[in-house]
Structure 1
Amino acid sequence: MVSVAIMGHGVVGSGVAEILLTHKQKLFASIGEEIYIKKVLDLREFPDSPIADRFTKDFEEIINDLEIRIVVEVMGGLHPAYEFVKRCLKAGKSVVTSNKELVAAYGAELLEIARVENVNFLFEASVGGGIPIIRPMNQCLVANIVDEVAGILNGTTNFILTKMIEDGMQFRDALRLAQELGFAERNPSADIEGHDACRKICILASMAFGKHVYPDMVHTEGITGITLEDVKYAEKFGCVIKLIGRVKKLKNGMIDIITAPMLVPFKSQLANIDNEFNGIMVRGDCTGDVVFYGKGAGKLPTASAVVADIVDCCTHLKQRRFLYWADGKGDNIINVNESEFAMYVRAKGKDVAVKAEALFGSIQSINTPGKRTAFTTGKMPYGEFIKKINKLSADGVEILSTIRIGDL
Structure 2
Amino acid sequence: MTAAPVRFNPFTDEFRTDPYPGYAALRAHAPVHRTMGMWVLTGHAEVRAVLRDRTFGVDVIPLALRRQADRLGIAGTERIDRLGLKSLVFTENPDHARLRALVNRVFTASAAARLRPRVTAIAERLAADARQDGATELMAGFAGKLPVLALCDWLGLPARLHPLVGGWTHDIRFLLEPGLMTAADFARVRTVVDTFTAELHAVIERRRAEPGDDLISLLLASRTGIGDRLTDEELATIGIMCFVAGVETTKSLIGNAVLALTAHPDVQDRLRADPALIGAAVAETLRYDSPLQHTKRVARRDTPLGDRLLRAGDQVLLCLGAANRDPAAFPEPDAFDPARAPGAHLAFGHGLHGCLGAPLAELQARIALEQLLRLPGRLVRAGEPEWQDHSFIVRGPRRLPLAVESV
TM-score range, shorter chain: under 0.3
Of structures 1 and 2, the one with the larger relative CO (CA 8 A, separation 6+) is 2
TM (normalized to structure 2)?
A: 0.24
Select the structure of larger CA radius of gyration.
1
Greater strand share, 1 or 2?
1
Query: TM-score under structure 1 normalisation?
Result: 0.24
